[in-house]
Amino acid sequence: MANLDTSQAISSEAAITYASVGGSGDRVKYEPGMFVIIRNGSGVSTTATITVPGNTKWGAANPVKTKAVAAGADLPIPLLPEYVDPADGRVAIACAPTTTISIAVMRA
């Protein structure tokens, strides 16, 4: 699992820098206004899964958030404060499958 600490500011003059996703997922350092872009360079759909820490008011584990990324597509996913693990200030994101999948960490 890789820790992704550096986010890029949105700019019309800068190319977006992508990194390969980690085989066991990635942990993104959270700041308000952040989002990730999942780039699927494969020929099949991939699923991005965000593990939401904590429990519901009924004591059950918070449900995970999943987003399908179509083959050959890019999908921006906003990072919400409720996704942040209070223990380390990070959001856990995993993709499956991971072959030819990359991630960019952006901030508005």
pLDDT tens digits, the chain, 108 residues: what are they? 577 766 777 766 778 889 999 888 999 999 999 999 999 999 999 999 999 999 999 999 999 999 999 999 999 999 999 999 999 999 999 999 999 999 999 988
Q: What is the pLDDT of residue 84?
A: 96
CATH architecture of 2-9+17-107: Sandwich (2.60)
Mean pLDDT of the chain: 91
CB 21 within 8 A of CB 95: yes
| Biggest CA pair distance of the chain | 47
User: 75: burial class by Cβ within 10 Å (0-12, 13-18, 19+)?
Assistant: middle
- Residue 27, pLDDT score: 95
Question: What secondary structure letter does DSSP report for 49?
Answer: E
Reduced to 3 states, what is the DSSP secondary structure of residue 96? strand
At residue 1, the pLDDT reads 54
Q: Are 40 and 73 in contact (CB under 8 A)?
A: yes
Integer Rg of the chain from CA: 14
Question: From the CB of residue 29, how many other CB atoms can be counted at a distance below 10 Å?
Answer: 17
In whole angstroms, give the CA distance from residue 36 to residue 50: 11
Q: Where are the domains of the chain?
A: 2-9+17-107
